[in-house]
Structure 1
Amino acid sequence: MKLQALRIPSGWKINWNLFYEQDINEDNCLYEFSSSTLLSISNPQINRNIELIWHPKGDLNGKYILEVFNLIEKYDPKKKIIEKVPESSVSEVTFESKNRQEIVNKIETLVMELKPYK
């Protein structure tokens, strides 16, 4: 099983990647499409995070949901550091599709064109 190839420019960090180069079918729906998050990438320099899920999990009739979240700085008293975390659970951009190539194109466009969040 091969991870989906993506053109991601420098500055972006891969937080989580289970986005495979295959379409959903009866053989893989309960494994490759059962994670709550397929892909999570962030760019702390522009304060953005991109998340990809398949919803509903493991469902052949589901779809990809791609969301962009704004990041803000928040102090973590336990770790005693400032972290970048999503500003809210509501995404700034949402894109849905059943087509993997449409999702790939949208991700590659977003990582090139997203403006910094301030």
Structure 2
Amino acid sequence: MSLKLVPLRISSGWRVTYNEFFEADPDSFVDENHKHAWEFKEDLLQLDHDRKRTLDLGWYPEFNPKGKYRLVLIDSEDKEQPDWENPLYVFETRNFKEIIEKVEFVLNEVSYCRM
């Protein structure tokens, strides 16, 4: 059975740059031989907002069963050199449900000019 993309509630103003955030359970990812190990990579999800914000989600370290999700929000006013060195928001967890909640939280906060 193939994995499905995580259904997300994306508020207005966001554009999906890429989405490879699948419903893969990190609790079952215990070794590198896991059938969905390739789902746990650095580039899972990226969205850009009209307000010059970029949301980025990845798994760090990539393909590592001891890794965790890392959610970052950056200022992308300068599209040529987005400010990855000074993130506006960072959140890390291994919890699948929690990362979905945080992604949706940040999406809303940016859309309503609170981040």
TM-score (norm 1): 0.80
Match of 2:82 in 1: 86
> Retained in 2: the 8 A contact 1:47–1:116?
no
Structure 1, unmatched stretches of 5+, are 74-82
Q: Match of 2:87, SS?
A: coil
For 1:32, which of 6, 31, 39 is the aligned residue?
39
For 1:108, which of 104, 107, 110 is the aligned residue?
104
Higher helix share: 2
Rounded Cα–Cα distance in structure 2 between residues aligned with 1:27 and 1:69? 32
Match of 2:54 in 1: 49
The alpha-carbon distance between structure 1 residues 27 and 89, as it changes in their structure 2 partners (threshold 3 A), is: same
Q: After TM superposition, give the deviation of residue 88 of structure 1 in Å.
A: 4.1
Q: Match of 2:69, SS?
A: strand
Give the number of aligned pairs.
105
Q: After TM superposition, give the deviation of residue 27 of structure 1 in Å.
A: 2.0
Identity of aligned residues (%): 31
Q: CA RMSD in A?
A: 1.8
TM-score (norm 2): 0.81
Larger radius of gyration: 1
Q: After TM superposition, give the deviation of residue 84 of structure 1 in Å.
A: 6.7
> Retained in 2: the 8 A contact 1:56–1:63?
yes
Judge which range, 64-73 or 108-117, deviates more. Answer: 108-117
Counterparts in 2 of 1:62-77, with a 5 A limit?
Answer: 62-73=67-78
Rounded Cα–Cα distance in structure 1 between residues aligned with 2:81 and 2:13? 17
Rounded Cα–Cα distance in structure 2 between residues aligned with 1:11 and 1:2? 24
The alpha-carbon distance between structure 1 residues 67 and 102, as it changes in their structure 2 partners (threshold 3 A), is: same
Match of 1:22 in 2: 24
Rounded Cα–Cα distance in structure 1 between residues aligned with 2:99 and 2:80? 25
Higher strand share: 1
Moved beyond 3 Å, runs of 4+ = none
